Structure 1
């Protein structure tokens, strides 16, 4: 017997991929790249703040 689990987040991503005319794989790849870019931006921002704080000490 096969059991399928419904994942609302996956369903939402599949619907968004369909709206954009992308495969789920391509959509998730783009989503991961976007979030990675945002994360790297925040890391660089935090490093800048830390550097400024070190100079001010």
Structure 2
């Protein structure tokens, strides 16, 4: 599919919002629920990871 955009034209005007993309797959996010198990609080882990850069 080829789309020609002219100067000042918005992409939202050209493409409808609900057009399916060919070959696109839906993400099944339910399979990732509860995958990561932390022994510490996630905020403490995040602060420790940021401190590694210093």
TM-score w.r.t. structure 2 length?
Answer: 0.28
Higher relative contact order (CA 8 A, sep 6+): 1
TM-score w.r.t. structure 1 length?
Answer: 0.27
Query: Which structure has the greater CA radius of gyration?
Result: 2
- Higher percent of residues as helix: 1
